[in-house]
Amino acid sequence: MVLIQPFFGGTKRTASELRLAEDGTIPQPITDMMWNLSLPVGVDRDSEYSNPTVDGGAKVLDRIKELGWRVEVFGCEGDPLVDRGRELVQLLKGKGVRVMGHFYEGRRHGIFIGDPSMSTKTDKRLKGFISHLTLALGTSMAYFKLSNQGKEKNWQIIVSLSID
């Protein structure tokens, strides 16, 4: 599973959320509104839908371990959500999940598709991640393409595996 700047929340603000409350990309009032619009009625940001780390972690995290999934989490210090990604990585490690966290200095939320140098870093890591999967699955061929067709908002990841 690959999580690039995952959008998690919680009722208690993290240090990065407080430090970057007036962020130009995703300021706190916008993230609050997004959660209010997306969560079921009567549920707060500490539900399993928005905060997988609350109360020792959502049950789905145990399932990730049982299934033997590998997890890669990407984030940037200039993203208000970065601490949520770090918390998830630590929790998954504590549960014995094979997880890698890739956190970069500076930047902002959405930088992995808006900055070619960050896209290149992510592309290299994802290729390595997928190459490992092809070896683990015993595949003969893997095709990986990360393309935005010249349009910042239309990224796609195409993975094709041929299993012997």
**What torsion do the CA atoms of 104, 110, 114, 115 make, to the nearest 10 degrees?**
0
pLDDT at 94: 93
Q: Are 103 and 124 contained in the same domain? A: no
Q: Does 137 lie in the same domain as 101?
A: no
CB 73 within 8 A of CB 102: yes
Tell whether the torsion through CA atoms of 51, 57, 61 and 65 is positive or negative. Answer: positive
Residue 78 sits in the same domain as residue 124: no
Cα within 13 Å of Cα(50), Cβ side: 19
158 and 135 inside one domain? yes
Query: Sign (positive/negative) of CA torsion 80, 82, 85, 86?
Result: negative
Q: How many domains does the chain have?
A: 2
Query: Band of the pLDDT at 152, cuts 50, 70, 90?
Result: very low
Q: What is the pLDDT of residues 95-149, one digit of tens each?
A: 999 998 988 876 766 666 666 676 677 777 777 777 666 555 554 444 444 444 5
- For residues 38-52, average pLDDT: 89
Residue 52 has pLDDT above 70, yes or no: yes
Clarify whether residues 79 and 36 are in a common domain.
yes
Q: What's CA 155's distance to the chain center, in Å? A: 15
Residues 6+ apart with CB under 8 A from 83: 14, 15, 16, 17
- Could you tell me if 130 and 74 lie in one domain? no
Looking at residue 113, its pLDDT comes to 63
Q: Report CA torsion sign: 16, 110, 10, 83.
A: negative
Same domain for 98 and 150? no
Mean pLDDT taken over the chain:
77
Do both 132 and 93 map to the same domain?
no
- Indicate whether 101 and 143 sit together in one domain: no
* Pick from 7-21, 62-76, 91-105, 140-154: least confident: 140-154
How does residue 29 score in pLDDT terms, banded at 50, 70 and 90?
A: very high
Burial (0-12, 13-18, 19+ Cβ within 10 Å), 117: exposed
Residue % of the chain over a pLDDT of 70: 70
- Shared domain check, 6 and 66: yes
Assess whether pLDDT exceeds 70 at residue 151.
Answer: no
158 and 91 assigned to the same domain: no
**Do 12 and 86 reside in the same domain of the chain?**
yes
Domain ranges, residue 91: 1-109
